[in-house]
């Protein structure tokens, strides 16, 4: 996938980027509940796991908006990836630790799901934190804490505050009346994402959850 460097002098976001990266370096976290009532019911009927469905939804939204694909490349250039794939954690029950693996993204859910199942089967007994040495640079992180239905979650990433990609953390879903709600926390960098962009992300994820029958069927 192509990495497209940003020309700062012609970039409309330049003053915001420079302020929140150089003057007041600022990241922020936002946690909100996703209503997965319909999604969970549909997945249960189809015999499909929830975690990969959520990963697919998140990646679909990330690939819709350049703000979520803006970062520095290995040469320190600021730019935007044409397309990104998810890097996600899998839990090892025996040693109570995890590995981070990745799966190439496909808009077609069944193709992505098949890749997910292949990768998790390959690395289900991995003993390393990063067992796949062939992970490409155009990935972003997703993790899950399925034991806690948290209302807030904050990461402290000490990379001199220059990690620009969003970081996603899923929590344990819980019932509220007739609804099934799942907490999702996302860390953003204010240099590239404002509150508006965070709102777009959460709202579009909710739309995908409600309209799950369409994309699950490949339509």
Of the candidates 118, 124, 144, which has an alpha carbon nearest to the alpha carbon of residue 55? 144
Q: How far apart are CA 44 and CA 59, in angstroms?
A: 21
Q: Which of 22, 65, 92, 190 is catalytic?
A: 190
Q: How far apart are CA 61 and CA 108, in angstroms?
A: 14
Q: How far apart are CA 133 and CA 204, in angstroms?
A: 32
**Catalytic annotation on 115?**
no
Of the candidates 159, 141, 154, 36, which has an alpha carbon nearest to the alpha carbon of residue 98? 141
Q: How far apart are CA 43 and CA 52, in angstroms?
A: 11
Q: How far apart are CA 95 and CA 115, in angstroms?
A: 25
Alpha carbons within 13 A on the beta-carbon side of 178: 1
Query: What are the DSSP E strand ranges found in 16-136?
Result: 27-35, 70-72, 78-81, 85-92, 97-102
Of the candidates 157, 156, 167, 4, which has an alpha carbon nearest to the alpha carbon of residue 70? 4
Of the candidates 114, 87, 112, which has an alpha carbon nearest to the alpha carbon of residue 100? 87
- By annotation, the residues acting in catalysis are 190
């Amino acid at each position: 996938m192509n990495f497209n460097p940003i020309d700062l002098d012609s970039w409309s976001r330049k003053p915001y980027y420079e302020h929140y990266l150089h003057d007041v370096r600022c990241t922020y976290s936002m946690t909100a509940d996703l209503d997965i009532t319909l999604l969970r019911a549909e997945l249960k009927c189809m015999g499909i796991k929830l975690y990969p469905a959520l990963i697919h939804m998140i990646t679909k939204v990330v690939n819709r908006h350049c703000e979520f694909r803006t970062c520095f490349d290995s040469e320190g250039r600021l730019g935007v990836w044409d397309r990104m794939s998810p890097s996600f954690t899998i839990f090892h029950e025996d040693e109570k630790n995890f590995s981070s693996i990745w799966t190439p993204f496909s808009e077609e859910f069944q193709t992505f799901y098949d890749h997910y199942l292949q990768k998790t089967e390959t690395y289900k007994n991995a003993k390393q934190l990063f067992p796949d040495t062939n992970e490409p640079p155009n990935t972003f992180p997703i993790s899950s804490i399925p034991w806690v239905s948290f209302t807030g979650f904050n990461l402290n990433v000490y990379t001199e505050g220059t990690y620009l990609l969003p970081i996603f953390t899923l929590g344990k879903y819980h019932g509220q009346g007739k609804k099934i709600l799942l907490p999702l926390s996302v860390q953003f960098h204010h240099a590239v994402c404002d509150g508006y962009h965070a709102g777009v992300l959460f709202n579009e994820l909710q739309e995908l959850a409600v309209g799950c029958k369409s994309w699950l069927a490949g339509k």
